[in-house]
Amino acid sequence: MLGDDPSRTLRLRTLATALAAAMFGGSRGADTLPGMTAELFPPDRLARAQVATAAAGLDALLVTPGADLRYLTGYDALPLERLTCLVLPASGPATLVVPTLERPRAVESPAGRLGIEVIGWGETEDPFALSAGRLRDALGGGTVAAVGVADRMWAAHALRFADSLPGVRQRAAGTVLRELRMRKTPAEIQALRDAAAIIDAVHEQIQTWSMVGRREDEVGRDIADAILSGGNSAVNFVIVGSGPNGASPHHDTGPRVIEAGDAIVFDIGGTTPEGYCSDITRTYVVGHAPEGFAQMYAVLQAAQDASCAAVEPGVSCEDVDRAARDVITDAGFGEYFIHRTGHGIGLEEHEEPYIVAGNAEAVEPGFAFSIEPGIYLPGRYGARIEDIVVCTEDGVERLNHVDRGLVTLAG
Ligand code: ZN
Ligand code: ZN
Ligand code: ZN
């Protein structure tokens, strides 16, 4: 699976090298990938965000650590009580305000190559007042009426900003940045492809393991190890839902001992050193399928295929959801499909767009999201099939390629 495309193999090797550098070189993965990071975090992104900020009627974005900051600057900052904040005015120079003790990390990160001034603040200074002052300076002393604060900014920080910028309206920066982040660049799509290849390989390992007599959480720990040793820098989640536990979509992997005749939902994901997420679900049966399961699974697979096939530029997110839901409802399982069909993915494992009834937004080339219908019969079993897909110029590309048919594990 991994070896059939030499360029992909090479990219994976690059990732592995980066991981090794991250582990042994004492610095983080993204900062050790100059070529790839330059592509992933292009310098024009800040300017495009400024245009979008002005168009939204905001004077600035205040972006604290999280996916938005990494998206804009490449800086994978630590989310701490000490303030780190990108002050991005709608026009004029951007400033990255960081604790002085973290300034070296910030300057070394891709942010240090974007021409942003990186200002350190000392332990006795007020970084909120400092940021507010930089913002007013950048805007030429004009009045500040409204700012966008990062969706993941801590409430404690947002409230301090409210004090330092009295009378200034705060809005969610996500309303501006979603327009950029939803439209993945070719480099981002490649990063998602690489992430998918790593997690696909983990699922192919799982298929070779014996399950009977093992606890869900023991298997879960092995999966977490495989997610890391495959080239990820973080395990995002591992769901092992065996037997009746599979009927709880976000089951907490626990002490239940796996038996022959169980169906098991494996939903797993990680983050690559570049920061991009993977997310895949497959449902396997152990030894033999429980009563009625194969028929239900066939419906689910048809639904997942129908939903993927519905993806093309211009189709609405809710129509992609409906394509899966109609198949499941027509087969009589509608009341057992209890969640939306999917979610966007990128630097976050769940981001916009959401593939859900009521979301009339049109899918565009570059949108990346999951297609993950499920059917859950309480007290009996559940099943989900999940792939990450990308809308292309004329259709869809699936990023995950693990067998979607009903796979029976040996035991
Ligand atoms: Zn989920
Ligand atoms: Zn998932
Ligand atoms: Zn998902």
Whether residue 393 sits in one domain with residue 278: yes
> Does 171 map to a domain?
yes
> Does 35 map to a domain?
no
Measured CA to CA, the distance from residue 38 to residue 274 in angstroms comes to: 11
The DSSP code for 335 is: G
The whole-angstrom distance between residue 75's C-alpha and the CA centroid of its chain comes to 16
Q: How far is the CA of 15 from the centre of ligand 1 (A)?
A: 26
> Does 10 map to a domain?
no
Q: How far is the CA of 392 from the centre of ligand 2 (A)?
A: 22
Going by C-alpha positions, the residue among 72, 52, 63, 53 that lies closest to residue 146 is: 53
Q: Which one of 180, 209, 244 terminates a domain? A: 180
Whether residue 196 sits in one domain with residue 280: yes
Q: How far is the CA of 90 from the centre of ligand 3 (A)?
A: 34
Q: How far is the CA of 368 from the centre of ligand 3 (A)?
A: 11
Residue 334: how many other CB atoms lie within 10 Å: 14
**Ligand number with the minimum distance to the CA of 268:** 2
**Ligand number with the minimum distance to the CA of 384:** 2
Helix pair 186-206, 216-229: axis angle to 10 deg: 140
**Ligand number with the minimum distance to the CA of 348:** 3
Whether residue 208 sits in one domain with residue 176: no
Q: Which one of 155, 180, 205 terminates a domain? A: 180
Q: How far is the CA of 385 from the centre of ligand 2 (A)?
A: 9
**Ligand number with the minimum distance to the CA of 280:** 2
Could you give the number of structural domains in the chain? 2
> Does 362 map to a domain?
yes
> Does 405 map to a domain?
yes
> Does 230 map to a domain?
yes
Measured CA to CA, the distance from residue 218 to residue 286 in angstroms comes to: 16
Report the pLDDT averaged over residues 382-404. Answer: 98
Whether residue 193 sits in one domain with residue 133: no
Q: How far is the CA of 311 from the centre of ligand 3 (A)?
A: 17
Q: How far is the CA of 369 from the centre of ligand 3 (A)?
A: 8
Q: What is the pLDDT of residues 266-305, one digit of tens each?
A: 999 999 999 999 999 999 999 999 999 999 999 999 999 9
Going by C-alpha positions, the residue among 388, 401, 384 that lies closest to residue 284 is: 384
> If you average pLDDT over every residue of the chain, what do you get?
92
**Ligand number with the minimum distance to the CA of 371:** 3
Whether residue 346 sits in one domain with residue 370: yes
Whether residue 363 sits in one domain with residue 280: yes
Whether residue 256 sits in one domain with residue 145: no
Q: Which one of 180, 214, 234 terminates a domain? A: 180
Question: Does residue 372 contact residue 349 with C-beta atoms inside 8 Å?
Answer: no
pTM of the model: 0.90
Whether residue 239 sits in one domain with residue 372: yes
> Does 333 map to a domain?
yes
Measured CA to CA, the distance from residue 272 to residue 194 in angstroms comes to: 8
Q: What is the pLDDT of residues 75-127, one digit of tens each?
A: 999 899 999 999 999 999 999 999 999 999 999 999 998 989 999 999 999 99
Q: Which amino acid is at 54?
A: A
Q: What is the pLDDT of residues 133-190, one digit of tens each?
A: 999 999 987 789 999 999 999 999 999 999 999 999 999 999 999 999 999 999 999 9
Q: What is the CATH number of the domain that holds 85?
A: 3.40.350.10
Whether residue 282 sits in one domain with residue 174: no
Domain span at 210: 186-409
> Does 60 map to a domain?
yes
pLDDT value at position 358? 98
**Ligand number with the minimum distance to the CA of 389:** 3
What separation, in Å, do the N-terminal and C-terminal C-alpha atoms of the chain show? 24
Whether residue 399 sits in one domain with residue 299: yes
In the chain, count H helices and then E strands. 12, 17
Q: How far is the CA of 67 from the centre of ligand 3 (A)?
A: 17
Q: What is the pLDDT of residues 296-349, one digit of tens each?
A: 999 999 999 999 999 999 999 999 999 999 999 999 999 999 999 999 999 999
Q: How far is the CA of 108 from the centre of ligand 1 (A)?
A: 35
Whether residue 218 sits in one domain with residue 291: yes
Measured CA to CA, the distance from residue 411 to residue 401 in angstroms comes to: 23
Q: How far is the CA of 229 from the centre of ligand 2 (A)?
A: 20
Q: Which long-range contacts (CB under 8 A, 24 or more apart) does 69-72 make?
A: 69/150, 70/30, 70/41, 70/275, 70/347, 71/41, 71/45, 71/177, 71/180, 71/181, 71/346, 71/347, 72/41, 72/45, 72/46, 72/177
Q: What is the CATH number of the domain that holds 301?
A: 3.90.230.10
Q: What is the pLDDT of residues 185-211, one digit of tens each?
A: 999 999 999 999 999 999 999 999 999
Whether residue 403 sits in one domain with residue 306: yes
Q: How far is the CA of 342 from the centre of ligand 1 (A)?
A: 8
Question: Does residue 29 contact residue 21 with C-beta atoms inside 8 Å?
Answer: yes
